[in-house]
């Protein structure tokens, strides 16, 4: 069940608790998280941004979503759509559905150039993680290439979804089928070869 703290300006809200599984099991009832929520409730937005940033950088999706809301609304920091989109997308990759909604809202009002910049930043981070052996990163790379870029990069999305599936992630099969409907068989075969080459390089 989701409990929301209503913000102090229209439509601003913080996600405080969620039943969704998180990428990194950082307890949302941790001292740092509760301090961040308390700071928000007390209108100490700068402290809230600082604390949620620490948790967000550790991969905690609820804090990442909260941080995206703060940047989007300009609380604790001047409004920053780039940071709002960045944190909203990272949170959505960790399983936060409200963050995905916010990411879509930000994408509708920003420039294609900004979307491209954020997309490349996230791809760079995720590629480093994937090549270091983080098996969750391959699915997230696929989703980023497929859904965050202004124009989906079907080749790279397909390659990373194939790699994710090779690691036993059956959830990506529907994405793979969708992409296969959009690329000819000749390219599909070539992309599969590239996926195999990358997969071999990843530490198991």
85 and 59 co-located in one domain: yes
Which residue, of 55, 83, 109, is where some domain finishes? 109
146 and 84 co-located in one domain: no
Token duo for residue 112: 């294609």
125 and 88 co-located in one domain: no
3-state secondary structure of 15: strand
90 and 121 co-located in one domain: no
119 and 180 co-located in one domain: yes
Q: CATH no. for residue 38?
A: 1.25.40.10
Q: Rounded to the nearest 10 degrees, what angle do helices 154-166 and 185-201 cross at? A: 50
> Do 87 and 55 touch, CB atoms closer than 8 A?
no
50 and 73 co-located in one domain: yes
Residue 16 parent element (H or E): strand 13-17
Domain that holds residue 123: 112-201
35 and 132 co-located in one domain: no
173 and 105 co-located in one domain: no
27 and 78 co-located in one domain: yes
Whose CA is closest to 55, among 75, 39, 79, 72?
A: 39
Q: What is the pTM of this model?
A: 0.86
Token duo for residue 96: 């936060």
Average pLDDT, the chain: 88
Q: Write the DSSP symbol of residue 148.
A: I
Which residue, of 70, 85, 109, is where some domain finishes? 109
Which residue, of 109, 141, 173, is where some domain finishes? 109
196 and 100 co-located in one domain: no
90 and 135 co-located in one domain: no
> Along the 204 residues of the chain, how does pLDDT read in single tens digits?
222 332 333 234 455 433 332 334 454 568 889 999 999 999 999 999 999 999 999 999 999 999 999 999 999 999 999 999 999 999 999 999 999 999 999 999 999 999 999 999 999 999 999 999 999 999 999 999 999 999 999 999 999 999 999 999 999 999 999 999 999 999 999 999 999 999 999 998
Cα torsion 140, 143, 146, 147: sign: negative
Number of domains in the chain: 2
| CA–CA separation, 116 and 114 (whole Å) | 5
> Do 182 and 112 touch, CB atoms closer than 8 A?
no
> Do 52 and 35 touch, CB atoms closer than 8 A?
no
29 and 89 co-located in one domain: yes
């Amino acid at each position: 069940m989701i409990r929301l703290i209503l913000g102090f300006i229209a439509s601003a809200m913080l996600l405080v608790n969620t039943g969704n599984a998180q990428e990194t099991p950082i307890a949302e009832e941790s001292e740092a998280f509760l301090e961040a929520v308390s700071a928000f409730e007390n209108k100490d937005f700068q402290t809230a941004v600082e604390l949620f940033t620490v948790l967000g950088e550790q991969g905690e999706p609820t804090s990442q979503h909260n941080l995206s809301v703060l940047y989007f609304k300009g609380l604790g920091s001047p409004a920053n759509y780039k940071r709002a989109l960045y944190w909203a997308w990272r949170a959505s990759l960790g399983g936060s559905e409200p963050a995905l909604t916010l990411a879509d809202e930000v994408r509708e009002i920003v420039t294609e150039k900004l979307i491209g910049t954020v997309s490349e930043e996230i791809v760079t981070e995720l590629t480093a993680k994937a090549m270091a052996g983080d098996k969750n990163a391959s699915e997230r790379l696929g989703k980023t290439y497929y859904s965050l870029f202004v124009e989906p990069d079907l080749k790279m999305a397909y390659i990373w979804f194939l790699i994710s599936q090779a690691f036993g992630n059956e959830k990506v099969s529907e994405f793979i089928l969708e992409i296969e409907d959009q690329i000819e068989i000749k390219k599909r075969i070539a992309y599969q070869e590239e996926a195999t080459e990358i997969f071999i390089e990843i530490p198991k």
